[in-house]
């Protein structure tokens, strides 16, 4: 149960939340009813309901004030998630990016309008195409006022993947980190006491060289634990856990953190591993439908506003 004046914020990569309609401007053929994946409306609605269940369970008696999501396809899936599924009783609203990503995946922020009054939002385009690289996801910048009167800035990001260490992928990630640094620096330079939260899927741990410029070049404080248990993280690949989904806060906002960052992984969100441990029960294993909700574990933090 949340203490009075404390509000929960969630970040989560929900693993390819696509609807079943083809977007002529996007390469979304793999998530269609007649594709090898056989992505049907029944499977889509099951995923909507499972995501809703996780969000409500994380909130407990009080639904999270803010939920940052990665890998959502379009306005249709966000409208369904907020207004047609189980979350409709909470009254969430949302804003999202409209990126040039070829697959059509974007980032979004859900918010409770009774707890967070939206003042504005914009997106920051990564200049990948200008450098002859594959386009990637925009940065989503949202700002608003909490119930306590604080102005809060949020940046939701989904940085390019490592993609096996390919040279172009590394260049794209450097560009994305550079844009994120420019955005956060402009906010903190104008308002040194700015309450700023950067969250999302960084596709990198805090020890990754790609994030070094961000962590050393800006006064952002990572809430991800510097030391972690071997069996802890937001993503597991080839048997190894890593924490690649992060929350970074400005110095002013760090003073309002109520406890450390937490993970949520109910038993029904897991699948057993042959070594006696577990993996997140993802929606697909390769091309095979697994029926899980996501291959990432959601993380959350409580703030006092």
pLDDT of 168-192, one tens digit each?
788 899 999 999 999 999 999 988 8
Residue 1 has pLDDT above 80, yes or no: no
Long-range contacts of 286-295 (CB under 8 A, 24+ apart): 287/36, 287/37, 289/37, 289/38, 289/43, 291/43, 291/46, 292/50, 293/14, 293/15, 293/47, 293/50, 293/51, 293/54, 293/269, 294/12, 294/13, 294/14, 294/15, 294/51, 294/269, 295/13, 295/15, 295/235
Q: Give the tens place of pLDDT for each residue, 41-84.
A: 999 999 999 999 999 999 988 999 999 999 999 999 999 999 99
CA atoms of 300 and 305, how far apart (whole Å): 16
Percent of the chain at pLDDT above 90?
A: 72
Residue 163 has pLDDT above 80, yes or no: no
Residue 155 has pLDDT above 80, yes or no: yes
CA atoms of 247 and 251, how far apart (whole Å): 13
pLDDT at 166: 61
Per-chain mean pLDDT for the chain:
92
CA atoms of 59 and 81, how far apart (whole Å): 16
Alpha-carbon distances of 61 from 67, 110, 290, rounded to whole Å: 16, 18, 30
Rounded to an integer, the average pLDDT of 118-136 is 93
Residue 161 has pLDDT above 80, yes or no: yes
Residue 227 has pLDDT above 80, yes or no: no
Rounded to an integer, the average pLDDT of 115-129 is 95
Q: Give the tens place of pLDDT for each residue, 244-255.
A: 999 999 999 999
- Residue for token pair 């029944």: 42
User: Please, what are the domains in the chain?
Assistant: 6-304 (3.60.10.10)
pLDDT at 4: 74
CA atoms of 200 and 202, how far apart (whole Å): 6
pLDDT at 145: 96
- Maximum pairwise Cα distance, the chain: 53
Rounded to an integer, the average pLDDT of 226-238 is 77
């Amino acid at each position: 149960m949340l203490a009075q004046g404390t509000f929960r914020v969630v970040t989560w990569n929900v693993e390819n939340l696509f609807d079943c309609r083809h977007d002529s401007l996007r390469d979304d053929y793999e998530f269609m009813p007649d594709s090898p994946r056989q992505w049907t409306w029944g499977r889509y609605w099951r995923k909507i309901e499972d995501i809703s269940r996780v969000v409500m369970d994380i909130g407990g008696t009080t639904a999270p004030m803010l939920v940052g999501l990665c890998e959502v396809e379009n306005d249709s899936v966000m409208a369904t998630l907020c207004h047609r599924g189980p979350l409709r009783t909470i009254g969430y609203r949302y804003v999202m990016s409209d990126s040039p990503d070829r697959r059509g995946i974007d980032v979004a922020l859900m918010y409770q309008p009774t707890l967070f009054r939206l003042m504005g939002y914009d997106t920051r385009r990564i200049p990948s195409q200008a450098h002859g690289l594959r386009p990637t996801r925009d940065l989503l910048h949202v700002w608003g006022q909490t119930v306590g009167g604080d102005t809060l800035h949020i940046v939701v990001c989904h940085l390019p993947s490592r993609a096996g260490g390919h040279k172009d992928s590394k260049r794209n990630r450097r560009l994305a980190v550079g844009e994120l640094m420019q955005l956060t620096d402009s906010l903190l330079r104008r308002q040194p006491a700015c309450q700023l939260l950067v969250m999302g899927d960084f596709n990198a741990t805090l020890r990754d060289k790609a994030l070094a410029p961000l962590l050393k070049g800006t006064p952002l404080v990572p809430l991800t634990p510097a030391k972690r248990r071997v069996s802890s993280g937001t993503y597991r690949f080839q048997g190894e856990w890593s924490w690649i989904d992060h929350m970074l806060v400005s110095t002013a906002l760090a003073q309002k953190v109520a406890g450390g960052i937490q993970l949520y992984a109910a038993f029904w969100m897991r699948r057993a591993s042959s070594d006696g441990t577990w993996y997140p029960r993802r929606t697909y294993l390769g091309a095979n439908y697994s029926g899980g909700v996501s291959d990432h574990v959601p993380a959350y933090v409580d703030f006092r506003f």
